[in-house]
């Protein structure tokens, strides 16, 4: 059996183990949180990244809110009822709702929010979710007027939605930030600049008062928020940091109360010192790399995609290189936990083979794909700048080199540039990840639908799309699961992506920060209004 040279793939984050200066006592009306990368947008309609999620969830609110266990609860709507056939939802707004500028928030604002999401001129990445509403597909495609969307406002306090078919995930879907209510007149006045601190009007627990690009964002409590009396923390400072190590050092110095993540390699003495402050949960998510299915050399070369996928030793990646026993090696296009484990039997047939046999199979497929030691594959791998992404990418390159003889050029780009490159298909293999927003396999299924905004691999198989459409229109749960299983099986056997593992997430949180419970928060979405600071 081949042994991977760990020296090629093991990187260390060197942290100074000396004690930092004694931190200043933080003001108890403020919290300082690391955001990670700079958000691509603060516009709920145009959201596409997790960093934006972390801000928008605190600035805006939707009809349906979510609790610390990611369960839907009343938001701007104080109550709702559902018709017997599960296709009509009637939402009743709370009385006297207001935006952060003190102006009334009514059902018309909810309609405008949905219309803006549906408007094809905006190219919203989450517009596909409106296909759940009557005429949703045709409105998003520009074939019907916006007012033909299956949503109406019989009066200023009521919203009615008509679904094309029963969807047990609809309330969960409505918790997503793309449905958060915005003030359309502000957008009409200022255009894209409406999200600047001097113009922005919000509907959630906080509003934005200052924003230094690639620096700090300051949020203050929205005094007109319907649950303002329940929001304990007055001021929020969201800070972008260069990398996880700088976040950790800022946390140690007392400049942060909560990190967005932690370095992958921490000095054992420091890990022991801060053990009680590590907060960890398992993502409903998957980590993978996109194969560009629309460009050479991966286009129309199934055996090459198979060889590259099988050559990766996921057990070593998780247990030795990443060294995180809570991450689960992934041999599928979907996690084993989604929909309470309904799709855990979707997995590659070679998963259970001994590693030596996996390597033989990968080498055989590599030769059949047209490559050999004398004619090696030369491939480019792209990732967004981050120490964890770098470590994984170098590990893949080393595995491909040792098992197959592949020559990999590994490069990185800043986050926003990387998003553009990946979206345009300007890559051969690119880092990716799917952190689903709600507990339904439909969220993963969109990753493989032809021309879906979530489909970064450029994969397209009409047979897959047909099965997904049939699953979405199914009338029984059993039928829905059976059709989704068929669809995911098609995608699995087409190898559009290189799945690696189901991740965990870890943050460092100061002992005086109360209300953060990642153990039950598998979607890793949190709202600062849940938090309080111990006196």
Q: What is the pLDDT of residues 189-225, one digit of tens each?
A: 999 999 999 999 999 999 999 999 888 999 999 999 9
Q: Which long-range contacts (CB under 8 A, 24 or more apart) does 72-77 make?
A: 72/171, 72/172, 72/174, 72/175, 75/175, 76/105, 76/110, 76/181, 76/203, 76/226, 77/159
Separation CA 116–CA 60 (nearest Å):
15
CATH code for the domain in which residue 318 is found: 3.10.105.10
User: pLDDT: is 435 or 480 the higher one?
Assistant: 480
**Residue 6 domain-assigned (yes or no):** no
Q: What is the pLDDT of residue 1?
A: 44
Q: Is the pLDDT of residue 24 over 70?
A: no
The two structure tokens encoding residue 507: 């943050």
**Same domain (yes/no): 111, 172:** yes
In tens, the pLDDT along 28-87 reads: 689 999 988 888 899 999 998 777 888 999 999 999 999 988 889 999 999 999 999 999
8 in a structural domain: no
Q: How far apart are CA 478 and CA 488, in angstroms?
A: 15
- Per-residue pLDDT reduced to its tens digit, 383-393: 999 988 999 99
Distance of CA 436 to the CA centre of its chain: 6
Q: Is residue 150 part of a domain?
A: yes
**Domain check: are 330 and 415 in the same one?**
yes
27 band by pLDDT with thresholds 50, 70 and 90: low
- Residue 44 DSSP class: G
Kindly state whether residues 172 and 244 are assigned to the same domain. no
Whether residues 289 and 272 share a domain: the answer is: no
Confidence label for 20 from pLDDT (cuts 50, 70 and 90): very low
Are residues 475 and 516 both part of a single domain?
Answer: no
Q: Give the torsion through C-alpha atoms of 361, 363, 368, 372, to 10 deg.
A: 180
At 475 the pLDDT is 75
328: pLDDT strictly greater than 70 = yes
- φ, ψ for residue 444, nearest 5 deg: -75, -35
In this prediction, residue 349 carries a pLDDT of: 96
Query: How many folded domains does the chain comprise?
Result: 3
Q: Is the model's pLDDT at 438 over the cut of 60?
A: yes
What is the average pLDDT across 129-149? 96
Mean per-residue pLDDT of the chain = 91
pLDDT band for position 453 (50/70/90)? confident
Tell me the CATH number at 525: 3.40.190.10
CB distance 505 to 524 below 8 Å? yes
pLDDT, residue 16, reads 37
Residue 21 pLDDT: 41
Would 17 be classed as within a structural domain?
no
Q: In angstroms, rounded to a whole number, what is the distance separating the alpha carbons of residues 357 and 245? A: 39
pTM equals 0.73
Mean pLDDT of the 289-295 span: 98
Predicted confidence (pLDDT) at residue 13 exceeds the cutoff of 60 = no
Containing structural domain, residue 385: 285-502
In a domain, 412, yes or no: yes
- Rounded to an integer, what distance in angstroms lies between the CA atom of residue 332 and that of residue 434? 13
Cα–chain center distance at 57: 13
261 inside domain: yes
End-to-end CA distance of the chain: 59
Token duo for residue 142: 């520009």
Q: What is the pLDDT of residue 264?
A: 72
Report yes or no on 50 lying in a domain: no
Asked if residue 12 is part of any domain, the answer here is no
What CATH number does residue 113 fall under?
Answer: 3.90.76.10
Query: Helix (H) and strand (E) counts for the chain?
Result: 16, 20
* CA dist., res. 376 & res. 381, Å (int): 15
Distance CA 524, CA 281 (A): 8
Residue 427 pLDDT class (50, 70, 90 cuts): very high
Query: Alpha-carbon distance 287 to 190, whole Å?
Result: 38
Secondary structure percentages of the chain, helix, strand, coil, to 5: 35, 20, 45
Q: Is the bond preceding 297 in cis, omega lying within 30 degrees of 0?
A: yes
The pLDDT confidence band at residue 168, using thresholds 50, 70 and 90, is confident
What SS3 class is residue 1? coil
| pLDDT surpassing 60 at residue 352 | yes
293 and 268 together in one domain: no
Which of 130, 152, 181 lies at the terminal end of a domain, its last residue?
181
Rounded to whole angstroms, the Cα distance separating 420 from 177 reads: 21
Q: Per residue in 500-511, pLDDT tens?
A: 999 888 899 999
- pLDDT score of 309: 98
Confidence at residue 377, expressed as pLDDT on a 0 to 100 scale: 98
Partners of 78 in the beta sheet?
A: none
């Amino acid at each position: 059996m081949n042994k991977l040279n760990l020296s090629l793939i093991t990187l260390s984050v060197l942290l100074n183990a000396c004690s930092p200066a004694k931190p200043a006592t933080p003001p108890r009306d403020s919290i300082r949180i690391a955001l990670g990368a700079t958000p691509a947008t603060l516009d709920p309609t145009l959201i596409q990244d997790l960093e934006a999620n972390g801000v928008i969830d605190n600035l805006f609110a939707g009809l349906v809110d979510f609790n610390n266990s990611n369960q839907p609860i009343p938001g701007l709507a104080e109550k709702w009822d559902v018709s017997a056939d599960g296709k009509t939802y009637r939402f009743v707004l709370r009385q006297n709702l207001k935006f952060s500028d003190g102006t009334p928030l009514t059902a018309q604002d909810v309609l405008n929010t949905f219309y803006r999401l549906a408007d094809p001129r905006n190219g919203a990445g989450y517009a596909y979710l409106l296909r759940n509403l009557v005429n949703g597909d045709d409105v998003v495609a520009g074939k019907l007027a916006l007012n033909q969307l299956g949503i109406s406002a019989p009066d200023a306090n009521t919203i009615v939605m008509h679904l094309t078919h029963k969807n047990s995930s609809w309330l969960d879907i409505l918790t997503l930030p793309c449905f958060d209510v915005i003030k359309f007149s502000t957008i009409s006045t200022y255009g894209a600049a409406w999200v600047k601190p001097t113009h922005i009007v919000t509907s959630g627990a906080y509003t934005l008062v200052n924003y230094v690009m690639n620096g700090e964002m300051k949020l203050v409590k929205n005094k007109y928020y319907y649950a303002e009396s329940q929001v304990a923390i007055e001021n929020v400072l969201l800070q972008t940091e260069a990398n996880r190590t700088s976040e950790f050092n800022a946390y140690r110095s007392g400049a942060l109360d909560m990190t967005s993540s932690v370095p992958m390699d921490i000095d054992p003495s420091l890990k022991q010192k801060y053990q009680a402050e590590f907060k960890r949960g398992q993502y409903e998510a998957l980590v993978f790399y996109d194969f560009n299915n629309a460009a050479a050399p991966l286009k129309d070369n199934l055996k090459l995609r198979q060889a590259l996928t099988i050559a990766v030793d996921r057990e070593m990646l998780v247990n030795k290189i990443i060294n995180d026993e809570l991450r689960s090696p992934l041999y599928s296009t979907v996690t084993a936990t989604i929909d309470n484990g309904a799709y855990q039997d979707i997995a590659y047939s070679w998963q259970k083979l001994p590693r030596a046999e996996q390597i033989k199979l990968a080498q055989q497929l590599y030769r059949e794909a047209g490559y050999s030691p004398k004619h090696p594959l030369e491939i480019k791998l792209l990732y967004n700048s981050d120490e964890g992404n770098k470590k994984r990418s170098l590990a893949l390159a080393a595995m491909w080199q040792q098992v197959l003889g592949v020559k990999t050029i590994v490069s990185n780009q800043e986050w926003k540039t990387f998003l553009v490159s990946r979206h345009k298909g300007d890559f051969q293999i690119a880092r990716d990840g799917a952190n689903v927003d709600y507990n339904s396999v439909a969220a993963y299924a969109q990753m493989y639908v032809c021309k879906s905004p979530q489909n970064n691999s450029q994969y397209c198989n009409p047979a897959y799309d047909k099965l997904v459409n049939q699953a979405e229109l199914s009338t029984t749960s059993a039928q829905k699961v059976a059709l989704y299983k068929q669809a995911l099986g098609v995608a699995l056997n087409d190898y559009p992506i290189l799945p690696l593992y189901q991740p965990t997430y870890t943050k460092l949180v100061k002992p005086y920060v109360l209300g953060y419970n990642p153990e039950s928060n598998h979607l890793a979405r949190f709202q600062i209004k849940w938090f309080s600071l111990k006196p």
